[in-house]
Amino acid sequence: MDQANFTETAIEGFASLGQPTRLEALRRLLSVYPDSVLAGEIARYCDVPHNTMSNHLAVLARAGLIVAERNGRTVSYRADVAGFRGLMDFLARDCCGGKPELCGHLPVVPAALVPEPSPDVVAPAFNVLFVCTQNSARSIMAEALLQKIGGGRFHAYSAGSDPAESPLPEVIDRLKQLGHDVTHLRCKSWNEFTGPEAPRMDFVIALCDTPRGQFCPDLGTKFVTGAWPVPDPVQFTGSASERTTLLNELYAMIRRRLEIFISLPFASLDRMALKTRLDEIGDTNRVSP
């Protein structure tokens, strides 16, 4: 590409980002890269009508900053990191007398695009702890899922109030088949996360099946907490194929909740609002064992 065309491309790219909704959409897609996000989820994240969001996404796609991926009737979008870095390189090309290396390498997401959070706002990256009774199935699933789909913005952990000796074999096998890394998954006590050497947690989400009498430990007020009651696979009955079906449904339920969770506008929500949103996510239809 000659210099004139490259300049035109850069102008189109920067012009596409001169609108708040498009800038927010690109930031969202960069934050979850290399994963893609459904168009409807981007619209909800940016709080704009779906049709309006489609027009904004088309502008970003024409500018070479995102790519569309169609799967049947659904369309998802992924950040085009090469196109984005091209814009940043265009700015830095003549930096420091034509020696941009003196400035260091530009990050994938420039710090200038990340707003400074107010003291009462939770900001990424986040540590998220999932707790249930035995830490053998539900919380293990949630840990593996968030670690995979969190796009590097979340660090997932799990624990139990009465941990089992090892994770449920059926759960581990299912996670393997679904492409998850299970080498680090183990049953742990909630106490591992209460001492002074424990990693700091931003969110603690309880998956205990409270409608069926299961209770998680008292989580206190130090964290942003949420209650996402789901059935315990240990109590699933029936044939092997029937239990596999229930596990698949449970996996899908946890994934749907996590996809909503990671799409929350964290920078614009204070702790009380985040607590409310987390509990709303957990108020969904349940799988019946």
Domains of the chain, each with CATH number or no CATH: 3-113 (1.10.10.10), 126-282 (3.40.50.2300)
> For residue 113, is pLDDT > 50?
no
Q: What percentage of residues in the chain have a pLDDT greater than 70? A: 79
Among 35-44, 118-127, 150-159, which is the least confidently predicted range? 118-127
Angle value at C-alpha 182, between 181 and 186, nearest 5 degrees: 145
- Find how far residue 210's CA is from the centre of its chain: 25
Looking up tokens 């509990």, which residue turns up?
279
Position 214 scores a pLDDT of: 46
> For residue 41, is pLDDT > 80?
yes
Position 72 scores a pLDDT of: 73
Q: Which residue has the higher pLDDT, 221 or 120?
A: 221
Looking up tokens 């569309």, which residue turns up?
68
> For residue 158, is pLDDT > 50?
yes
pLDDT in tens, 73-95: 778 898 887 778 777 777 766 66
